[in-house]
Structure formats: C-alpha cells, structure tokens
C-alpha cells in the first residue's frame, strides 16, 4: 500500500504540472486514481493474502469486507467513470483534475 500511495502522489503532481502548459495546445490533462480493481493481479494478491492469513484461498472474499462497498471495483466501472472525460462534448472545462474511482476508500483514511 505504501508504494502505491507514492505512485498516486507522483501522478497527481505530474498532472498538475502539465495542466498549465497543456491547455495552450488544446490538450486537457486528467489522471485517474483507481481503488481496488478486480484485475488478475488483484485476484492473485487476494488469494495470496488468504493463504497467508487463513491458510485457505477460498476465504479470499473475506478480505474484501474492509472495502467501502465490500467488493472490488471492475475495469468496466473505471471505464464508465472516465468515458465522459474522453468525449469531445463533455468535460471541456476539466483539466488538471484527479478522478478517484475508489468507492470512497480515500474518505475512510485508507488511501491518499
């Protein structure tokens, strides 16, 4: 978790640095900070933690109970959140923003 927090901070800083320069060229910059997303890597991590914690991979879903909505997000949910920003007619006044797609995880004090 610690390494990921630094990655998000670096991405946010980079986005802020670009926003002022990029708009001169008609380019809007927005970064996306996803929370726990059910990718292959995430699934492997849950199974590994379940083996270490419970000695039972089948108990992996129990580890998701601490997430704000007690499940991981899906790649489609991230895509759905980002899609309006990519459309030419939408979000034309948005630049330098950080979009958090984390089901409120940050507000529970678990992410930056």
pLDDT of residue 110: 47
Using pLDDT thresholds of 50, 70 and 90, give the confidence band for residue 107.
low
Mean pLDDT computed over every residue of the chain: 84
pLDDT band at 109 (very low <50, low <70, confident <90, very high): low
pLDDT of residue 95: 86
Q: Left, alpha or beta for 34 (phi > 0: left; psi -120 to 50: alpha)?
A: beta
Rounded to two decimals, what is the model's pTM? 0.75
pLDDT over 90 at 18, yes or no? no
What's the mean pLDDT in 13-26?
Answer: 85
Residue 68, phi then psi, degrees to nearest 5:
-55, -40
Average pLDDT, integer, range 14-41 = 88
Q: Which residues pair with 101 in a beta bridge?
A: 34
Report the percentage of the chain scoring pLDDT > 70: 88
């Amino acid at each position: 978790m610690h390494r990921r927090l630094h990655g998000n901070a670096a991405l946010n800083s980079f986005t802020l640095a670009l926003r002022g320069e990029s708009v001169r060229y008609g380019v809007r910059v927005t970064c996306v900070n996803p929370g726990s997303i059910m990718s292959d890597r995430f699934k492997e991590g849950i199974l590994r933690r379940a083996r270490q914690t419970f000695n039972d991979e089948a108990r992996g879903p129990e580890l998701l109970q601490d997430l704000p909505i007690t499940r991981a997000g899906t790649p489609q949910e991230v895509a759905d959140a980002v899609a309006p920003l990519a459309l030419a007619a939408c979000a034309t006044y948005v630049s330098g923003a950080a979009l958090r797609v984390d089901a409120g995880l940050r507000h529970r004090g678990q992410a930056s």
